């Protein structure tokens, strides 16, 4: 068999390049802590890692959505409690009226209810981060508009928000309506207009039935103050349920995030002990190849002639 003059140097160079690549790979893994730096290192594992990273980003976005929704739900909950407190106070004022009430007493109660109406309008147009909470899915516009008379008294309040509820996505196939619903927003409109009617009844001229009319607004009819208070309490209860659901979803997303991190780590992270052994082994082989190559290269044909 004929062996060319440069066959050994070419073989030695190829071997040194292979060992050098192994060293560089081990050094890269040890310095980055990552077992895979290119798809060619482990194609199936790389595909799993990419899928898991996509899932992790989705879960991060769902968690951010749930966090924003929880904040909105908490502020809505607080605002609804304020509406309930306004109703309770208005009901107390109506219950305190009797046939012997003086015009001054009616005027004082009317003035207080007028302030309750103004406060109710402010609460109804509560904003969070520049968005109106009770305007459903058109938060850029005020939720409630007021009509005023020449004395700047509010004579009517109208719901001006959207007719579509605002929803957020907290999972691939899961949406949840946060804040108040459109019917609940319209119920706030009813509450505020009921307060206007109560104020107007107190402002009406004195009559034998005036106190009965005022007291009747507290507990009679479909939209009496007591019934409206129960409706608002139902809205508050629903807001509390939404908060619990969002908090549960956030905890679940956090668990899934940690589990995804562990799965990615299992495929992507390097085994430092194993990588160190490979580095040492390739370095020793590299040095041995250089030494043996140098020894062989010093020999000539005459060394083999006897």
pLDDT for the residue numbered 202? 83
Are 226 and 219 within 8 A, CB to CB? yes
Residues 166 and 290 in one domain: no
- Domain containing 81: what range? 52-261
Average pLDDT over residues 184-193: 92
pLDDT, tens digit, 9 for 90 and up, residues 60-113:
999 999 999 999 999 999 999 999 999 999 888 887 776 556 778 888 888 999
Residues 73 and 148 in one domain: yes
Three-state DSSP class for 128? strand
In-domain check, residue 24: yes
pLDDT for the residue numbered 189? 94
Q: Which residues of 206-229 are buried (b: 16+ CB within 10 A; e: fewer)?
A: eeeebbebbbebbeeeeebbeebb
Share of the chain above pLDDT 90, in %: 34
Residues 251 and 141 in one domain: yes
Distances in Å between the Cα of 54 and the Cα atoms of 110, 196, 251 are: 60, 54, 19
Distance CA 297, CA 13 (A): 13
pLDDT, tens digit, 9 for 90 and up, residues 112-131:
999 999 999 999 999 998 89
Residues 145 and 289 in one domain: no
In-domain check, residue 164: yes
Residues 67 and 24 in one domain: no
In-domain check, residue 165: yes
Residues 60 and 193 in one domain: yes
Residues 193 and 138 in one domain: yes
CATH assignment at residue 187: 1.20.1330.10
pLDDT for the residue numbered 223? 65
Distance CA 168, CA 171 (A): 9
Are 162 and 138 within 8 A, CB to CB? yes
In-domain check, residue 212: yes
In-domain check, residue 43: no
In-domain check, residue 304: yes
How many domains does the chain fold into? Answer: 2
Distance CA 222, CA 141 (A): 30
Are 267 and 49 within 8 A, CB to CB? yes
Specify the higher pLDDT residue, 85 or 278.
85
């Amino acid at each position: 068999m004929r062996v060319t003059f440069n066959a050994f140097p070419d073989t030695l160079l190829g071997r040194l390049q292979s060992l050098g690549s192994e060293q560089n790979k081990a050094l890269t893994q040890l310095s980055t802590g990552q077992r895979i730096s290119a798809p060619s290192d482990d194609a199936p594992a790389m595909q799993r890692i990419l899928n898991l990273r996509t899932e992790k980003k989705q879960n991060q976005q769902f968690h951010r959505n749930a966090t924003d929704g929880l904040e909105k739900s908490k502020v809505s909950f607080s605002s609804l409690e304020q509406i309930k407190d306004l109703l309770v106070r208005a009901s107390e004022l109506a219950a305190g009226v009797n046939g012997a009430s003086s015009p001054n007493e009616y005027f004082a109660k009317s003035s207080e209810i007028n302030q309750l109406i103004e406060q109710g309008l402010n609460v109804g147009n509560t904003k969070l981060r520049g968005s109106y909470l009770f305007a459903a899915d058109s938060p850029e516009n005020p939720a409630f508009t007021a009509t005023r008379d020449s004395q700047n008294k509010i004579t009517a309040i109208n719901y001006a928000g959207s007719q579509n509820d605002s929803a957020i996505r907290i999972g691939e196939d899961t949406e949840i309506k946060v804040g108040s619903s459109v019917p609940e927003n319209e119920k706030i409109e009813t509450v505020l207009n009921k307060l206007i009617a109560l104020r107007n009844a107190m402002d009406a001229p004195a009559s034998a039935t005036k106190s009965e009319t005022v007291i009747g607004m507290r507990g009679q009819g479909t939209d009496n103050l007591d019934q409206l208070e129960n409706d608002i309490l139902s809205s508050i209860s629903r807001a509390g349920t939404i908060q619990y659901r969002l908090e549960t979803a956030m905890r679940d997303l956090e668990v899934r995030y940690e589990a995804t991190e562990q799965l990615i780590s299992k495929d992507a992270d390097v085994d430092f002990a194993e990588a160190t052994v490979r580095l040492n082994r390739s370095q020793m082989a590299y040095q041995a190849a250089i030494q043996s190559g140098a020894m062989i290269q010093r020999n000539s044909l005459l060394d083999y002639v006897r």
